Amino acid sequence: MLVDTSPCGEVERRHPFLRTCIGTLRPAMGKSSVLSLLVESLAREEQINREHAENLIRDLLEMERRGSSAVKGGIALPHLETSLIHHMVGGIGIAREGLHFDSSDGEPTHLIFLILAPPGHAQRISQLRLQLATVGRQLVAQHKTGPPLMCHDVFSAINNLVVNI
């Protein structure tokens, strides 16, 4: 389970992330554990069918084997288009101390934005990933020397993202 699912209140959904599908990740977690926790949070909140969780995790790990979703700036953007999903959904993990996610710059990953969508959403996923990369890098940079990154920080930052979900 995610370590910190602190309540953050309700917000109009203009992006695929629920406040209850965000949490703080334990130090030294690997990709498999991170992706499993994020997928399980989506199943717990009935954003995905629980019976598909194992297949989604397997497919996400296969995508990671082909190439890491971690990008420069301390963020990772794993994503998957699959017929097991009926609408775009997402989960967010915060790794305050950073995790090894095979980033091209070799730096630790602090924010993981998981995006799952049905087939035909490639353009929306790309649009969302670009917005998340910008916002995520800003958040990581701000919190490297300041207070720890919290749920409300992330939601405040992504609340202005607009993606047709």
Q: What is the pLDDT of residues 60-73, one digit of tens each?
A: 999 999 999 999 99
Evaluate whether 45 touches 74 at the Cβ level (below 8 Å): no
Residue 56, domain extent = 17-158
Evaluate whether 129 touches 77 at the Cβ level (below 8 Å): yes
Predicted TM-score (pTM) of the model is 0.88
Both structure tokens of 45: 């909140």
Task: Please check whether residue 9 lies inside any domain of the structure.
Answer: no
DSSP state of 16: S
Distances (CA, A) of 69 to 7, 19, 25, 76, 122: 28, 22, 17, 5, 15
Residue 138 has pLDDT above 50, yes or no: yes
Task: Count how many domains the chain has.
Answer: 1
Q: Domain of 102: which CATH number?
A: 3.40.930.10
Task: Please check whether residue 5 lies inside any domain of the structure.
Answer: no
- Calculate ∠ Cα 154-73-113, nearest 5°: 45
Distance between CA atoms of residues 163 and 165, nearest Å: 6
Write out pLDDT tens, residues 81-129: 999 999 999 999 999 889 999 998 999 999 999 999 999 999 999 999 9
